[in-house]
Structure 1
């Protein structure tokens, strides 16, 4: 599939031309090259040809096992439609559209090679449109993506003042690289839940772009429970005054799994608010998780209120959790900004308390882990999804 060009998508022509006029991406590992210090200065382009091959020294890839992702980073990806099932209310629509649709490219631009390769390769995009002021809900299930490397593109368009919940559930075997654009119109309130329960050999690269209008609210939840490699990057652009975003994540890594989540919150308008909270548990030899949280408060974002945290619970030996919070503030007029990160083992006092009341050690450990993760699960606000995730977490613990 040819790369996206200005003649293909008119609304993003200026952005595409700007990307092409910039110099190509460079690696942090080259001699004499100074790595970009600000998150705002990261290179972006719709065309995979504008990105250098991934070496593993790049800031955005240095924690990722790139050798296992060669097919998605450098290979030719299938970009056709895939099978899915949907359960939705009448006032929410789900349709395939071509690349020339004006909504495609209106929210974000790829900042790394994997996302750009998927953007270059996809042929049609699946668009979910949320409209009307009465709450609506849709659940999209993908269980037959296939074993061949492929690209996908999904758009969620929440019209001004709409109310909606969109749940994306992914299961089965896959080698999938995709982009998800989330447009939240002025005054809209949207919840997006992305659940990754791939087969043990599943490989999934995803970039979620979100753009919020004036007084818009987005609750975005990422749940990663299985798969060989799962890497979900979430970029939230608070472009409208008074916009508010909640970014939550919960993950459970077993032996040999790599679960990675990168978050970028871009405060670009006055009086915006963000809350980021990700929690994970790890068990088994070579279970690996990565969380990177970037928050940028621009000079235009006076009155910003921002906080991010990541907490990890290491259940066995042989696990590793990397947690990297970053905060950039370019204005002195803010309501508050902060971050926190912690990774550790069981609290012996909690276990002693439970065992002293006659609860066996194994059951006590399960209760502690479920309590630790349920703090995020309960924020989803969709009872059916919360019950499903509670059951899935319980199954992971008993296994």
Structure 2
């Protein structure tokens, strides 16, 4: 709380992304009205139970194969691993943080095999969850968090990469249609380490995933990717934050989405902060949305803050539009029907992200799911 220049006490506006209030206590945040900058584009009343309600924080059923180089275990909320990647910056994440009993810890060491962890039986009651992924020095690997079935879930995910670790984390939201899901995903990337983080949101009534990456060590790199398809009445939201703290760090953010059907809504907000000590930073963020029908809305807001003049490069881009008529004409001129041409254009637009996962079986499944979305939307 600081005094305004015109007198009187009140909340001073946040001047930079890094100054945003953070706490693990739900009650430390004011009540959400839907007018706040971080909530004004969200359907607050549809997820009110996750923001303010009582959440079941007990451990839940998970499915995963034994994979060399990985360990999976439940740890107590008092573990020193909790809170090493980030702290909630909004009331729903703090509610989840206050409510979980044990956290799921996934550890990667050496050249770890691909680990796919599946959650399918979370049920319809409001629930909290907390997951921590740690990668030892020099570790490599791919972790897939595969979410399906019914859910009303508010959760936090922490990802911590020690020096020279190189891992990929994929979060797949393929929930049942009525599902509600709020997630804050924090990553801390050490010296010379590389994180590829991919968000895939297809199923669910309201799905809001907020990834943040703190490039804390010199030479750290992060590639944050996302793909989503919103159909009638569905709200899919992503708020991405990249904080360049150390020198000579690099980031790339690319999110792509499609919207079809009355009331289909997507929100993408991208914040990149280049701190005063992040000399030599190289960063670029972009969001592209393909509108397939009337009655949809895509909000796309890129933001860039630079606190040092000594950088390699920084930029951002955003675009929302309908089909490229020239592409359709080109395909139809070669004997391809209009429906097939549209299918090829949409899949070509979205598959760029899916094909960067690096796990062929999952890539094929997600491409089939995207194609099913297109068929259902005709």
TM-score normalised by the chain length of structure 2: 0.96
Which of 325, 347, 352 in structure 2 is aligned with 1:375? 352
Q: Which moved more, 1:81-90 or 1:334-343?
A: 81-90
What's the secondary structure of 2:65's corresponding residue? strand
Q: What is the CA–CA distance in structure 2 between the aligned matches of 1:219 and 1:88, rounded to whole Å?
A: 23
What are the ranges of 5 or more consecutive residues in structure 2 without an aligned counterpart? 3-8
What are the ranges of 5 or more consecutive residues in structure 1 without an aligned counterpart? 1-22, 25-30
Pair 1:224-2:201 in alignment: yes
Which of 298, 303, 316 in structure 2 is aligned with 1:339? 316
- Contact kept? 1:88, 1:139, Cα under 8 Å: no
Q: Which moved more, 1:384-393 or 1:111-120?
A: 384-393
Pair 1:51-2:49 in alignment: no
- Contact kept? 2:70, 2:112, Cα under 8 Å: no
Q: What is the CA–CA distance in structure 1 between the aligned matches of 2:113 and 2:80, rounded to whole Å?
A: 24
- Contact kept? 2:230, 2:260, Cα under 8 Å: yes
Q: What is the CA–CA distance in structure 1 between the aligned matches of 2:357 and 2:114, rounded to whole Å?
A: 13
What's the secondary structure of 1:67's corresponding residue? helix
Q: What is the CA–CA distance in structure 1 between the aligned matches of 2:10 and 2:55, rounded to whole Å?
A: 34
Pair 1:165-2:150 in alignment: no
Q: Which moved more, 1:53-62 or 1:362-371?
A: 53-62
Which of 326, 331, 350 in structure 2 is aligned with 1:349? 326
Which residue does the alignment assign to 1:129? 107
Pair 1:309-2:266 in alignment: no
Which residue does the alignment assign to 2:253? 276
- Contact kept? 2:224, 2:254, Cα under 8 Å: yes
- Contact kept? 2:120, 2:147, Cα under 8 Å: yes
Shift of 1:34: 4.1
What's the secondary structure of 2:328's corresponding residue? helix
Which of 214, 217, 238 in structure 2 is aligned with 1:237? 214
Shift of 1:336: 0.2
Shift of 1:35: 2.6
What's the secondary structure of 1:387's corresponding residue? helix
Shift of 1:381: 1.8
**What's the CA shift string for 1:111-135, capped at 9, x where partnerless?**
0001000000000000000011x24
What's the secondary structure of 1:263's corresponding residue? strand
Pair 1:318-2:330 in alignment: no
Which residue does the alignment assign to 2:79? 101
Q: What is the CA–CA distance in structure 2 between the aligned matches of 1:90 and 1:294, rounded to whole Å?
A: 36
1:61-80 equivalences under 5 Å are: 61-80=39-58
What's the secondary structure of 2:186's corresponding residue? strand
Q: What is the CA–CA distance in structure 2 between the aligned matches of 1:40 and 1:211, rounded to whole Å?
A: 14
Which residue does the alignment assign to 1:393? 370
Which of 38, 41, 63 in structure 2 is aligned with 1:85? 63
Q: What is the CA–CA distance in structure 2 between the aligned matches of 1:335 and 1:87, rounded to whole Å?
A: 43
Which residue does the alignment assign to 2:6? none
- Contact kept? 2:67, 2:112, Cα under 8 Å: no
TM-score normalised by the chain length of structure 1: 0.91
- Contact kept? 1:283, 1:315, Cα under 8 Å: yes
Give structure 1 regions of 4+ aligned residues with deviation exceeding 3 angstroms. Answer: 31-34
1:246-257 equivalences under 5 Å are: 246-257=223-234
Number of corresponding residues: 370
Shift of 1:100: 1.2
